[in-house]
């Protein structure tokens, strides 16, 4: 029986080696300890000695070929012996295939694309990532991270103003906006260069350029320097993301004071007044930040409530808090048009059957985002999409074999952690594993003051689905830590299935809500019951105690509030 000669593992981190030189040739007689082949890795050169005696009947990996650790290099046996049922000579294919790497292209380097690329590389893929702009995508450059930097400064300012209540007398001398902006750039740059380092560490080739499908397995890449190249891959994963949508409101496009979220993150000075079109996540987060910086903020939302996908009861509480802080909020209101009014802008809003005019120095247009798929040439190669929103199944496969899509470019849930989770699923499927995406544990977080987070079903959704459920609520006024942190503002709310007592949803308005929601997502993922939450001891004094108390309240067992 032929003995396999395999690529050795020469160190903990070694994943593959290159066959640099065969010392023995096919047909040579070999003894135990004879040097057969020289291999190199990026760190060292080594020799592979024979562990068997006989004839080198077949060399599978040619000189120059990369072979994964434990991949087959050759066979030693008796002259003319069959390998795996066939004669020695023609049997190279299975081992050669094993030695060859799956080539993977990832289009886009946002939190979807770069995570996909890393996972694909971890699974042995030879990965190329093509990014037309900056690694980190929307999230690191003009999304999650820069907004949170502004919000952090705004929150710190609010806290300083309230220091006297804590017995600390400080005076706010003003805001150095250029330093706020510098901090934003520093954090963003550090994270972007971190992603670049991760690409190198994972041996992912990064091409700066725009990718477009030339055929189902070939990308036409126009590089930053203007050169063009067609590249063919075994697997292609699209992570092209999204860009701000521009509504067809007369005057918006032409008016320089109307900006999208990217513009609103980089105002030259803090505007005196800001009108926000769209009371969704971007609108509410930036309204929170600028109002804390002293801007007079007005929010105009077309629907009957802000943050339409979040729990209605807690959204109403948040609205009251924002209004108490001086933010003017109009729901069921439609912007009719925008026009110049000297250096400012006049926004005509239809509200309560009348058209009212509002003057603002700047107008933030935040009415949603659209997929950034125009350059991809999807239709030409038959990739199914609905006006640019790519269609996939739960394995993240498109209708075209070996082409996957993930993240914002699907035009569904546009969140960084969803893009990353879907990216891992796509990479695993592309590299031969069997993974499916399940969004049940996906938390929605809004970085307001206090924070707002939810996972699973809202009360409205559970009703709409006809599910029998009960609700457990705990006001944070009755939680010691919350009382210390923000005066006890906020609430935690559980939605529990009536029959099996499973956790269906949890909604939190309060300090650190976006961290607290992790436990609740885990509970949903593990199909935990309310009893599981109750049986878990939560540390004192923490806001997490209130999570358990809200679960107790669903069972009418709350300790620190009366049970109704
Ligand atoms: P993107 O991050 O958009 O990345 C796609 C990348 O693909 C881009 O870099 C683009 O240049 C590149 N690309 C596109 N087409 C091509 C092509 N043809 N060739 C080469 N490259 C291409 N989400 C959260 O979860 N939490 C938050 O707090 C949060 N805050 C946000 C705040 C703002 C202001 C905004 C705008 C968004 C926020 N989001 C947040 C949403 C989050 O940024 C996105 O959901 C996330 O970035 C999507 O990741 P992605 O990889 O799918 O796409
Ligand atoms: P969004 O979909 O959250 O909200 C847009 C809002 O604008 C909706 O409430 C909609 O009813 C309203 N609207 C639409 N047309 C309007 C009009 N003509 N007049 C008035 N209101 C109008 O979209 P948004 O805020 O632009 O954010 C885009 C995406 O970015 C979101 O889908 C979200 O997933 C992501 N994001 C996530 C954040 C987070 O997780 N913390 C923060 C910011 C953005």
Residue 113 CB less than 6 A away from ligand 1? yes
Residue with CA nearest ligand 1 atom 36: 143
- Per the prediction, the chain carries an average pLDDT of 94
Residue 81 burial class via C-beta count within 10 angstroms: exposed 0-12, middle 13-18, buried 19 and up: middle
Crossing angle, helix 177-201 and helix 144-161, to 10 degrees?
Answer: 140
Reported as a single tens digit per residue, the pLDDT across 277-288 is: 999 999 999 999
* Ligand nearest to the backbone CA of 416: 1
Residue 473 CB less than 6 A away from ligand 1? no
Cβ proximity of 467 and 495 under 8 Å: no
Q: Please indicate, yes or no, whether residues 21 and 81 belong to a single structural domain of this protein.
A: yes
Ligand 2 atom having least distance to the Cα of 261: 26
CA of 423 to the centre of ligand 1 (A): 13
Residue 408 CB less than 6 A away from ligand 1? yes
Residue 250 CB less than 6 A away from ligand 2? no
Q: Please indicate, yes or no, whether residues 107 and 237 belong to a single structural domain of this protein.
A: yes
Answer with the one of 62, 87, 112 that is the final residue of a domain.
87
CA of 408 to the centre of ligand 1 (A): 7
CA of 109 to the centre of ligand 1 (A): 9
Residue with CA nearest ligand 1 atom 27: 144
Q: Which two tokens stand for residue 221?
A: 């890449």
Q: Please indicate, yes or no, whether residues 137 and 172 belong to a single structural domain of this protein.
A: yes
Answer with the one of 324, 347, 367 that is the final residue of a domain.
367
How far apart CA 111 and CA 118 sit, in angstroms, is 11
Residue 491 CB less than 6 A away from ligand 1? no
Q: What is the pLDDT along the chain (564 residues), one digit of tens a residue?
A: 789 999 887 754 567 888 989 999 999 999 988 899 988 876 567 888 898 899 999 999 998 898 888 889 999 998 888 775 433 333 333 333 345 899 999 999 999 999 999 999 999 999 999 999 999 999 999 999 999 999 999 999 999 999 999 999 999 999 999 999 999 999 999 999 999 999 999 999 999 999 999 999 999 999 999 999 999 999 999 999 999 999 999 999 999 999 999 999 999 999 999 999 999 999 999 999 999 999 999 999 999 999 999 999 999 999 999 999 999 999 999 999 999 999 999 999 999 999 999 999 999 999 999 999 999 999 999 999 999 999 999 999 999 999 999 999 999 999 999 999 999 999 999 999 999 999 999 999 999 999 999 999 999 999 999 999 999 999 999 999 999 999 999 999 999 999 999 999 999 999 999 999 999 999 999 999 999 999 999 999 999 999 999 999 999 999 999 998
Catalytic residue status for 540: yes
Residue 426 CB less than 6 A away from ligand 1? no
CA of 266 to the centre of ligand 2 (A): 19
Residue 107 CB less than 6 A away from ligand 1? yes
Q: Please indicate, yes or no, whether residues 159 and 179 belong to a single structural domain of this protein.
A: yes
* Number of domain units in the chain: 4
Q: Please indicate, yes or no, whether residues 239 and 375 belong to a single structural domain of this protein.
A: yes
DSSP secondary structure code for residue 345 in this structure: E
Please indicate, yes or no, if residue 358 is contained in any of the structural domains.
yes
CA of 550 to the centre of ligand 2 (A): 29
Q: Please indicate, yes or no, whether residues 314 and 356 belong to a single structural domain of this protein.
A: yes
132 lies in which domain range?
A: 103-244+370-439
Q: Please indicate, yes or no, whether residues 115 and 239 belong to a single structural domain of this protein.
A: yes
- CA pseudo-torsion sign 214, 217, 221, 227: negative
Reported as a single tens digit per residue, the pLDDT across 519-533 is: 999 999 999 999 999
Please indicate, yes or no, if residue 190 is contained in any of the structural domains.
yes
CA distance readout (Å), 548 to 480, 501, 503, 552: 14, 14, 12, 6
**Which one is catalytic: 417, 538, 540, 560?**
540
Please indicate, yes or no, if residue 96 is contained in any of the structural domains.
no
How far apart CA 373 and CA 304 sit, in angstroms, is 31
Looking up residue 162, the CATH number of its domain turns out to be 3.50.50.60
Q: Please indicate, yes or no, whether residues 474 and 549 belong to a single structural domain of this protein.
A: yes
How far apart CA 215 and CA 449 sit, in angstroms, is 49
Q: Please indicate, yes or no, whether residues 114 and 213 belong to a single structural domain of this protein.
A: yes
Answer with the one of 87, 118, 134 that is the final residue of a domain.
87
């Amino acid at each position: 029986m032929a003995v396999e000669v395999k690529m050795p593992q020469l160190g903990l981190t070694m994943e593959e080696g290159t066959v640099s030189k065969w010392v023995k040739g096919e047909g040579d007689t070999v003894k135990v300890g004879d040097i057969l082949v020289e291999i190199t890795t990026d760190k060292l050169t080594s020799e592979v000695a024979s562990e068997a005696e006989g004839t080198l009947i077949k060399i599978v990996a040619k000189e120059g070929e990369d072979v994964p650790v434990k991949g087959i290099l050759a066979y030693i046996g008796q002259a003319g012996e069959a390998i795996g049922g066939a004669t020695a000579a023609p049997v190279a294919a299975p081992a050669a295939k094993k030695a060859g790497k799956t080539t993977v292209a990832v289009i886009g380097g946002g939190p979807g694309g770069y995570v996909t690329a890393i996972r694909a590389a971890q699974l042995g893929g030879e990965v190329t990532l093509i990014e037309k702009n900056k690694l980190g995508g929307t999230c690191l450059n003009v999304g999650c991270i820069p907004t949170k930097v502004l919000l952090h400064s705004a929150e710190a300012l609010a806290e300083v103003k309230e220091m006297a209540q804590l017995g600390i007398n400080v005076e706010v001398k003003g805001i150095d906006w250029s330093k706020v902006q510098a901090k934003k750039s520093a954090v963003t740059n550090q994270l972007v260069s971190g992603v670049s380092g991760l690409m190198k560490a994972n041996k992912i080739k990064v091409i700066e350029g725009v990718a477009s499908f030339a055929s189902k397995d070939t990308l036409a890449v126009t590089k930053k320097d203007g050169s063009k190249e067609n590249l063919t891959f075994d697997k292609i994963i699209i992570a092209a993301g999204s860009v701000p949508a521009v509504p067809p409101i007369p005057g918006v496009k032409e008016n320089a004071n109307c900006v999208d979220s990217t513009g609103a993150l980089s105002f030259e000075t803090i505007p005196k007044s800001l009108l926000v079109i769209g009371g969704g996540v971007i609108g509410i987060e930036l309204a929170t930040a600028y109002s804390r910086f002293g801007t007079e903020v007005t929010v105009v939302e077309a629907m009957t409530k802000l943050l339409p996908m979040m729990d209605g009861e807690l959204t109403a509480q948040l609205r009251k808090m924002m209004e108490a802080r001086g933010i003017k909020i109009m729901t069921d209101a439609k912007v009719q048009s925008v026009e110049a009014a000297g250096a400012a802008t006049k926004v005509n809003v239809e509200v309560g059957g009348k058209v009212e005019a509002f003057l603002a120095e700047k107008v933030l247009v935040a009415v949603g985002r659209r997929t950034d798929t125009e350059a991809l040439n999807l239709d030409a190669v038959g990739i199914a999409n609905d006006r640019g929103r790519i269609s996939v199944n739960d394995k993240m496969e498109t209708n075209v074999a070996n082409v996957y899509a993930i993240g914002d470019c699907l035009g569904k849930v546009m969140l960084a952690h969803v893009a990353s989770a879907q990216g891992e699923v796509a990479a695993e499927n592309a590299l031969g594993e069997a993974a499916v995406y399940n969004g049940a544990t996906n938390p929605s977080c809004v970085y307001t003051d206090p924070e707002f987070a939810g996972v699973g079903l809202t009360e409205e959704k559970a009703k709409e689905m006809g599910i029998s459920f009960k609700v457990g609520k705990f006001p944070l006024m009755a939680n010691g830590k919350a009382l210390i942190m923000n005066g006890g503002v906020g609430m935690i709310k559980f939605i529990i299935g009536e029959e099996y007592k499973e956790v269906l949803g949890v909604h939190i308005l309060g300090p650190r809500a976006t961290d607290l929601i992790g436990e609740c997502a885990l509970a949903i993922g593990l199909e935990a019951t309310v009893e599981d939450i109750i049986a878990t001891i939560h540390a004192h004094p923490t806001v997490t105690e209130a999570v358990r108390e809200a679960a107790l309240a669903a069972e009418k067992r709350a300790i620190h509030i009366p049970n109704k």
